[in-house]
Amino acid sequence: MAQLEDLMHEHFVDYASYFILDRAIPDIRDGLKPVQRRLLHTLFTMEDGRYHKVANAIGETMKLHPHGDASIADALVVLASKGYFIDGQGNFGNLLTGHPAAAPRYIECRLTPLAIETLFFRPLTEFVPSYDGRNEEPVFLPAKLPVILMLGTEGIAVGMSTKILPHNLTELWEAQIDLVNGRKVALFPDFPQGGLMDADAYDDGAGKVEVRARIKVRDPKHVVIEEIPYGTTTESIIASIEGAAQKGRLKIASIDDFTTDKVEIEITATRGVNAKELIPQLYAYTDCSVSISSNLNVIKDRRPAQMSVADILRELTERLTAQLKAELEYERGQLEDRQHWLTLEQIFVEERVYKRIEKAKTEDSVKKQVVTGMAKFEHLFVRPMVDDDVKRLLEIRIRRISAYDIEKNRKTIDDIVRAIKTINRKLKQMKKTTVDYIEGLIDRYGEQFPRRTAITRIEAVDKKAVATSNVKLAYDRGTGFFGSAVRGDMFRLNVTEFDLILGIANDGTYRVMTPVDKVFFTGKLIHCEVFDPEEGAEFVVVYRDKKKIAFAKRIKVLKFIRNKEYQLIKDRGGKVDYLLTPNDLGEVKLDFVPAKRQRVKGASFDLSTLELTSATARGARLAPKPVNKVKYTPAKASAKTTRSRPAAKKAAAAKKAPAAKKAPAAKKKTAAKKSSRKVSSTASSDEPEQGDLF
């Protein structure tokens, strides 16, 4: 088992290393994945100025590595869609609509002048054998462009991934000039689809950008999408719009797609909706606004590394300077070799050193005569003469010697000397040389790569503010269900998907809900409203528990967990008699449960005396005995009744006064007692019936 574990570990490490280094993550030196590198190298070896069938290019690339033809074709189409290195002829698909390219046998391609000028320099390219040893492939291309930032790339490897957003090439060149001159740089992505971008959170490649479609109001009933965000297509945009319309988030009548080489999606608003109202809703609910995160993982020194945009560009600028220096030194070496040979040839012909070999009879003596004859002019040599130089001089034919043009040879040598001096001057001023090279590229190619994505400040759309009341809720008393899938005739509400609804049942259960399809209340729903979580909802609750003990409390629903059921009554089995607002406080009158020898049959309680307490508290006890009936009297009605009682008593006394004068004194006392008991009994029997406010 241990051996098997070691074997699995070893093989997994090899697999992961291969996948990271040679498949998914680009190399910082040329910014290419291996399949892209092999493809571009193959096109360079095939380059003759004419177009090649893509199928032929795929076949030639497969000689370097057994990639599948489909993966090579996909890589070629992606590179061609970028517009930097591959010039395509035929149907290479549409980046805007997402339509695929035609079959490889129908389309053609070749390298662009920019690619030929900046990606290849065979003398300084390191090669390794291909997978079968029959061919050679480059380890990396000697690119003189910040390829990894201009192309942008995505890749998922084992345990890591990368997502590098594309940047504008001209801006990259200008930033490289700033880096060479010691200035700080700030770079932001640029997408081929255009659109609007807020890069405040880009954080030099470690954050994200917000990208939006460019939408224009054509008239009060129509809006037109003219540019789309990176990573979307017109088909995905339209699909997201249709999905939002089906959910009621957008009120549109139709969508028409007129996209060709430019995006044009026309949206018609429904009757009663202005086109301007659609724009924030499109940004809020569709793919017209997307957030794109950046994750810069690259291969550096055969190891994965996480870097920032500025660090990558600084590294590539230093590599550019080193590459230019190496090419200049190579070119100087070639010129010096040519100058050395032309100088030897000039001396050999002009000074008639070749005449000395006429006397020699052996091969060694011939070489000796050449060496001896040339030694007199050693001070004119560019470098010491070697055996290969002697051999080459002896290979000069008589026809060339007889037709030798002395003046032309001297002029050629002078041109070479001037070229070498120019190269030496450039090598001494590598900063200026690098800047001049980049400026030359900007002059030749800068106009081909304008910025497409506009950088702006994007204000976040408040989805709650632009939401429409597209969710219809109702309560069915018969089933006890409440929600958007319920057909009921009570508590009908039109709400948005972001609203919260407070529902309270007469058994004391309540919950703060999102707009749900269906939820069941064990008790009868007595209150339902759209709930504001910031302000909360305040109530006065009058209830009786299962022992018919009456309580009242003033509460405020503020803290809650969505869709969780809470209890207003501590002991289950009770019932809410009244649910009042703080502005409608009055008096409750209580009718006790009849009992033997009960003299006090009722009581009253002023609800305005209640203080705010928690929703889970029991509350104030309203009476010491079980209550049979509870009657609520509003504050105004209670005050009116209180004010009228003295007047009623006076009227009753006035009516009874004559009868009292005729009766004896003892009878007066008895009558007074009976009258008092009668009033008390009447007051008790006139208690109002129990009822609900909601």
Catalytic residues: 106
Q: List, in sequence order, every beta strand (DSSP E) within 581-635.
A: 587-592, 602-606, 612-613, 620-621, 627-633
Output phi, psi for 227, to 5 deg: -140, 150
Residue whose structure tokens are 């599948």: 68
Burial (CB count within 10 angstroms: exposed 0-12, middle 13-18, buried 19+), residue 59 = middle
C-alpha 380: how far from its chain's center?
68
Residue pair 28/298 in contact (Cβ under 8 Å)? The answer is yes
Residue whose structure tokens are 């029959």: 134
Residue 611's CB is within 10 A of a number of other CB atoms, namely 7
Cα 661 to Cα 656, 664, 674: the distances in Å are 9, 8, 17
CA dist., res. 274 & res. 223, Å (int): 10
CA dist., res. 88 & res. 82, Å (int): 11
DSSP single-letter state for residue 378: G
Q: 523-547 burial string, b = 16+ CB within 10 Å, else e?
A: bebbbbeebeeeeebebbbbbbbee
CA dist., res. 279 & res. 273, Å (int): 12
DSSP single-letter state for residue 24: I
Residue 648's CB is within 10 A of a number of other CB atoms, namely 10
Q: How large is the angle between the packed helices 34-46 and 54-61, nearest 10 degrees?
A: 120
Residue pair 564/528 in contact (Cβ under 8 Å)? The answer is no
Residue pair 215/193 in contact (Cβ under 8 Å)? The answer is no
Classify residue 515 as left (phi > 0), alpha (psi -120 to 50) or beta.
beta
Output phi, psi for 595, to 5 deg: -145, 160
